[in-house]
Structure 1
Amino acid sequence: MNYIKLVNFEVQRFLKLFVALVVFVSVAQIIAAVSSAWSYNNRAETIMFQEKLLMNDYVSKHGNYSMVNFLNEGLFQLSIAFAAAVLIIYVFFIWYRDWFGKSSFIYRLLMLPTERRHIYFAKLTTILLFVFVLLGVQVLLIEVAELIVKSILPAELYAEQGVIFTYSYDVLEILFPQSMLGFLLSYGIGTALVATLFTAILLERSFHLKGIILAGIYITLSQAFLFTPILLQMNTNYFYMSEILSMFVVTALIIFVVAVFLANYLLKRKINV
């Protein structure tokens, strides 16, 4: 129950900013859908008028509009990058706010009658919750974008694509893996990286100037270990791709366990109230 209360507390602290982020991403992608569809439609009408083409002739010669056009829109890609950047910044902010904010709130958290590791897991869970909520919002936005595009373009100019094709394109393939192994790879590595950064922050907070050096060494070693499967394959060329990906999942799991173990030690032994 203490862990759940801590998660709820962390969510509430970031909720207003997160809602603002969701609104920004939504508005940006809706504008991207309208802009790309109108731009394509205007260009098509101009070319058809100049070259005296029918719609079918235009499509045969110049190609039709598909959701790939929307996914290639700069504003769409910017919204994804911006959301990712905000969450990465929050990985640091979620800890340093407690130390450098009003009244050094971290000490009040550490004095709560609960295991200190619950604070670590609550912050990690909060980051993951926001990531998965954003993914859910992104699914809805793609559907909304498709409806907008269909309402602007004549049916002859729009090419229907399957869901699998849409989600196999570019960044969506990483955000929405199509297999369990792909999901474990993308979000297992992501979770391990966040846990590594959390632990690096605790190293810095525990040892200060020396902690910066220790955190840098720790991050470097963790990343080197994570990419061990690639080095192994480069030297042996022995494993299938599925085996390489499975090894990535295992290395990410090991990195995560080490990060949690080290963070728990630092919270218990090195960070005093």
Structure 2
Amino acid sequence: MNLLKLLSWEVERVTKPYLMLVAGLIVVQFGWLGYFLWDEKNFYEQLRRTGDADYQMSFSDYLGGTPYLLSLGIAVAAMLLYSAWIWYRDFQGRGTFILRLLTMPQKRMTLFFAKFATILMMTLGLLAIEWIALKLQYIAFTSWFDGKMIPINGSFDQALSINGILAMMYPTSVVNFVIHQLFIVIVVLFVFTFVLIERSFWQRTMWSPVLSLSTLMVILTIPILGYALLSNRLIYDETIVYVGVVLIVWASVTIWLSRRFLQSKLNV
């Protein structure tokens, strides 16, 4: 089975839960938007009746609401959990399913990259869907308050830049966007590596999660300690280069470890 067939198969397996996640996020966000518009309109009307109508609405107020932030947190948590579950689900039933996958006539890393590409497609798709949803929410927000002749403060881009999570998801700089996407890649690779190391020890010791996490912590900590020692000597451009090199090293090391444990250490 080649990479495209495995990728198509993995995507098919995740389609239903993924659509349920997206639908849930959309319902929560637009439901919160409806309540926010109604509540803010009533609040402004009270201010107008008392002669104190200098209050201005801002899209960032809506984005800073607990329901909206909670929906983003659920989305991030769901993607992290599925990055692990995409492997763990194949080990259910005494590992018979993963055994079938690993004995198929293809290199084991083909399976790794199929699962990896599936997670990246889900993540990028979620970012794109959320961007479209944000645009629609902003249009509904401005149309509602314009129709009520209620002043609005700030633009769409300003509202996103104020929100820390959205500013990371949709940075204005192309360089920052690429770096943020590399961070997503690194996080997924770390989760994959953790699962494969832990599963490689699962029949040998109950300490396998601790050993797996310890290995990854060493890989994660060394470059961070290096930056702490060099940060005072690096200018901005050098810092960007250092971060880029560290991300490449992290990706290379995690892929190498995953390949080693998947091909020669994994027991099923």
Q: TM-score, normalised by structure 2?
A: 0.90
The residue that corresponds to 2:245 in the other structure is 250
The residue that corresponds to 1:265 in the other structure is 260
Distance change >3 Å, CA 218–CA 149, structure 1 → 2: same
170-179 or 241-250, larger mean C-alpha shift: 241-250
The answer to whether the aligner puts 1:166 opposite 2:169 as a matched pair is: no
In structure 2, C-alpha distance between the alignment counterparts of 1:219 and 1:158, rounded to whole Å? 51
* Structure 2 residue corresponding to 1:220, chosen from 214, 217, 231: 217
In structure 2, C-alpha distance between the alignment counterparts of 1:180 and 1:247, rounded to whole Å? 18
* Structure 2 residue corresponding to 1:110, chosen from 102, 126, 132: 102
Distance change >3 Å, CA 202–CA 70, structure 1 → 2: same
Q: Secondary structure at the match of 1:157?
A: coil
* Structure 2 residue corresponding to 1:188, chosen from 178, 182, 185: 182
In structure 1, C-alpha distance between the alignment counterparts of 2:93 and 2:13, rounded to whole Å? 13
Q: Quote the offset at 1:38 in angstroms.
A: 1.5
Unaligned runs of 5+ residues in structure 2 are none
The residue that corresponds to 1:239 in the other structure is 234
Matched-pair contact (CA < 8 Å) for 1:28–1:79: yes
The answer to whether the aligner puts 1:25 opposite 2:22 as a matched pair is: no
Deviation track 1:76-120 (CA, whole Å, cap 9, x = no partner) reads: 111100011111111111111000148621111111111110111
RMSD: 2.0
Q: TM-score, normalised by structure 1?
A: 0.89
Q: Secondary structure at the match of 1:225?
A: helix
Q: Quote the offset at 1:272 in angstroms.
A: 4.9
In structure 2, C-alpha distance between the alignment counterparts of 1:101 and 1:70, rounded to whole Å? 46
Distance change >3 Å, CA 243–CA 33, structure 1 → 2: farther
Deviation track 1:185-241 (CA, whole Å, cap 9, x = no partner) reads: 21212211211221121111112225334312211112213424541345xx12223
Matched-pair contact (CA < 8 Å) for 1:34–1:148: no
Q: Percent identity?
A: 26
Runs of 4+ in 1 over 6 A off after TM superposition: none
Unaligned runs of 5+ residues in structure 1 are none
